Amino acid sequence: MPTVIEPKLIAGNANKPLATAIARRMSLYRGMSVGLVDARVERFNDQEIFVEVYENVRGEDMFILQSTSRPANDNLMELLIMADALRRSSAARITAVIPYFGYARQDRRTKARTPITAKLVANMIAEAGIERVLTMDLHATQIQGFFDIPVDNLYASPVFALDIMKHFEGELEDVMVVSPDVGGVARARELAKRINAPLSIVDKRREKPGEIAEMTVIGDVTGKKCIIVDDICDTAGTLCKAAEILMNHGATEVHAYITHGVLSGPAVERVTNSVMKSLVITDSIAATDAVAAAPNIRVVPTAPMFAQAILNIWNGTSVSSLFETDTLGPIYEGIL
């Protein structure tokens, strides 16, 4: 009889807690132990990255768990070197599970003589021997087209919808979903449809990168519990100012649901001192001590969704089924 190839997980150093949680979830779903492949991913004194896999992976279906978050270059190189090590060890297939895809904001040329770094990273990933990518909430969906290999892009909105329906139970008629800019309208509209809420937009105009000259609210938010939806929160300057503008326009509360909590520099302090009642992020990026200690920042887990997506890829079933709230509801029962 042919041998059944089991899915095997290997993790870099970017987000070990999430990797461990995914393995634990897969063990629960399969009714058998699924652990992380024993390996070392370390640095020499000159900061060169070295990878050694201690287990036999010949002919195995390998999944590398690695966000390319801060430090982006180190984590990206870890991913590429792990892929090379597995390819040279005769793994049957290598899938990169990248909860947060770094460099995604460099997806087009904004002015003359600038790179399209997201395309460069896509080329590097494919050349390293990776045959499939699983990620979540790409900053720009067209990045999927930068790859000549299959890309599965999961969405956080079904998970956010479940969380909102639980935490705003009985108050959903007062909820309004807000896009913090015109470019994010599609993402905000998707969540608004899931919870049957109206949509508003904060139109922002920038004088130069990092500075916002003017903000205008499109839509009546008077008496509403506003939920700002976005994919990335970096320094939180735009987010906190948008919350302030909404409160000034009559909103009773402002919450934010952001997929990737980059939260660099003064971000945590800004969020803590802002008018926002809560900021909800996923664990696609490992939370720092400051994030964990912040009283108005909450983290929702993505391990149940990623574990199921990995199993679906492994056994050749639909990944897009995880876009539906009805599918994710049982997976997240008792978690949110």
311 and 252 in one domain? no
Contacts 24+ apart (CB under 8 A), 150-156: 152/309, 152/313, 152/319, 154/305, 154/306, 154/309, 154/319, 154/322, 154/323, 155/190, 155/323, 156/257, 156/259, 156/282, 156/302
Residue 101: per-residue pLDDT: 98
Q: How many domains does the chain have?
A: 2
Flag whether 139 is marked binding: yes
197 and 98 in one domain? no
Cβ neighbours of residue 269 closer than 8 Å, sequence gap 6 or more = none
Flag whether 230 is marked binding: yes
260 and 124 in one domain? no
255 and 322 in one domain? no
- Looking at 8, 204, 224, 225, which residue is catalytic? 204
20 and 124 in one domain? yes
Flag whether 238 is marked binding: yes
pLDDT tens digits, 246-288: 999 999 999 999 999 999 999 999 999 999 999 999 999 999 9
One-letter-per-residue 3-state SS of 292-306 = HHCCCEEEECCHHHH
Quote the domain boundaries for residue 246. 157-300
Flag whether 237 is marked binding: yes
Flag whether 46 is marked binding: yes
* 1 pLDDT above the threshold of 50: no
In a domain, residue 1? The reply is no
In a domain, residue 75? The reply is yes
Residue 8 appears among annotated catalytic residues: no
Flag whether 260 is marked binding: no
186 and 72 in one domain? no
CATH label of the domain that carries residue 269: 3.40.50.2020
Residue 334: per-residue pLDDT: 83
Residue 5: per-residue pLDDT: 78
In a domain, residue 336? The reply is no
In a domain, residue 118? The reply is yes
Residue 183: per-residue pLDDT: 85
Flag whether 47 is marked binding: yes
151 and 210 in one domain? no
pLDDT tens digits, 53-78: 999 999 999 999 999 999 999 999 99
196 and 101 in one domain? no
71 and 52 in one domain? yes
In a domain, residue 171? The reply is yes
Higher pLDDT, 1 or 175: 175
pLDDT tens digits, 125-172: 999 999 999 999 999 999 999 999 999 999 999 999 999 999 999 999
pTM, whole model, 2 decimals?
Answer: 0.94
